Structure 1
Amino acid sequence: MKDHVKKILDELLARFDCLRGCEKEIVTAYQLMEECYTHGGKVLICGNGGSQADADHIVGELMKGFLLKRPVSREYATQLGRDFEDGAYLAANLQGALPAISLGNHNALLTAFSNDVAPDMGFAQQVFGYGKKGDVLIGLTTSGNSGNVVNAAKIAKSLGVSVVSITGAGGGKIAALSDSAIQLPATETYLVQELTLPVYHALCAMIETHFFACS
């Protein structure tokens, strides 16, 4: 296990002792995300209700600075300065990004697909359209049985997109489809959601440290 992963994981477990037992799957999820980003991939995230809010939150931590500054490269800053009068401003106000898409935000597409085709296939359609081999799908479902999230995972698997699921205890139907099935030690929806946030914060911190600690 890489030093920064162990450090962040140890800090997570010190604050949330109940997550002991999830360590292996959390590390696997990190490894899948690291490999994805190393090879120019992206992370797709889906969920319903509170899980959709968490999907948006994850995108916010990946697409901009979370715990670290992420300045653009000197070469890119020089290019912007060469090409535009306000190049210095542009460079100073850009941050390194880890590509991530929250699938629940595409309201026109989702409502059209729900009305015209099938309500439980909206996320699957997006995975089919966006997903490439080597990408990662994070499926957030407290029960593990949300039909639209499970169907998205099925399409992901068919495309060679790795699946990370974050669920409550037992994992539900999505667990069998997952390359990493993080099954949190709770069953009540709100309790699963309360444990979901520190887990994805830890994952985002691990990924950010790997790619931007030396920026």
Structure 2
Amino acid sequence: MSSTPEKGPAMLGAYLNPAEYLQRCAKEFEKLDLQQTSDLANSIYQAWQDGRFVFICGNGGSGSNASHLCEDLGKSTLDPADFTNDDAKRLKVLSLTDNTPYILAWGNDEGFDRVFVEQLKNLASPGDVLIAISGSGNSANIVNAVEWANKHNLETWGITGYQGGTLQEIGQHNLHVPLDDMGMVESIHLMLFHWILNDVYARINSVGRYAGQTQSEAA
């Protein structure tokens, strides 16, 4: 008979066997507001249409998800036939987690809380999109970036778990996984990001559910 922790950080795999763990994960899918996922795909597709930048940031596992989502959106929204087509319109996307020297300079000299917002000050323009990922919703460097982005007319998304934290309160839009297990939250985030990639790819390339539609009709 499995048990779950009453106190402390939840690590469900420490209490559940593989089958139970996956069953619990499946139950969490049923709790999601999937309109949030569709809306994030809409925002990214609109940024592609408008030629706006999509910036992504996160720490730890969420930082890895930020890099993963950036790589997917940057390369895999293209039809492979367009890889060498310089006229093909591409999504402008950048993960703020990957500029290591810049992050270390600001973190060492001025504090880690500023490593993302200072990059936005150099790179972002009104109308760009910021996707900020924080399982707890309370990471100071994430909150700082979103607060600045809100003040400078970017579209902001908070990607959260647990209770959503400050990020859920200040993000203009949210994608929330209401679960107190960081690993499972990050896994569900990544699964949803993969659906978003597929959806944006289908719209850009008029395939799948969007076959026969113009790119304007797919918006």
Counterpart of 1:193 in structure 2 is 186
What amino acid is the match of 2:62?
A: S
Counterpart of 2:163 in structure 1 is 170
Q: Secondary structure at the match of 1:134?
A: coil
Counterpart of 2:13 in structure 1 is none
Give the deviation of 1:24 after TM superposition.
2.1
Percent identity, aligned pairs only, is 25
Greater relative contact order: 1 or 2 (C-alpha under 8 angstroms, separation 6 or more)? 1
Q: Is the counterpart of residue 123 in structure 1 residue 119 in structure 2?
A: no
> In structure 2, do the counterparts of structure 1 residues 36 and 96 end up closer, same or farther at CA, with 3 Å as the change threshold?
closer
Q: 2:65 touches 2:190 (CA, 8 Å); kept in 1?
A: yes
Counterpart of 1:184 in structure 2 is 177
What amino acid is the match of 1:160?
A: N
TM-score normalised by the chain length of structure 2: 0.75
Structure 1 runs, 4 residues or longer, greater than 6 Å off: 92-95
Q: How many residues align?
A: 183
Give the deviation of 1:107 after TM superposition.
1.2
Choose the corresponding residue for 1:152, options 132, 139, 145.
145
Following the alignment from structure 1 to structure 2, what is the Cα–Cα distance between the partners of residues 132 and 92?
27
Choose the corresponding residue for 2:38, options 27, 42, 54.
27
Q: Is the counterpart of residue 69 in structure 1 residue 62 in structure 2?
A: no
Structure 1 alignment gaps of length 5 or more = 1-14, 73-89
Correspondence 1:51-130 to 2 at 5 A: 51-65=62-76, 69-72=79-82, 91=84, 97-130=90-123
Structure 2 alignment gaps of length 5 or more = 1-24, 208-214
Give the deviation of 1:35 after TM superposition.
1.8
TM-score normalised by the chain length of structure 1: 0.77
Give the deviation of 1:65 after TM superposition.
2.3
Following the alignment from structure 1 to structure 2, what is the Cα–Cα distance between the partners of residues 19 and 128?
36
Following the alignment from structure 1 to structure 2, what is the Cα–Cα distance between the partners of residues 178 and 19?
22
Give the deviation of 1:71 after TM superposition.
3.0
What amino acid is the match of 2:122?
A: G
Following the alignment from structure 2 to structure 1, what is the Cα–Cα distance between the partners of residues 154 and 80?
27
Give the deviation of 1:118 after TM superposition.
2.4
Q: Secondary structure at the match of 1:193?
A: helix
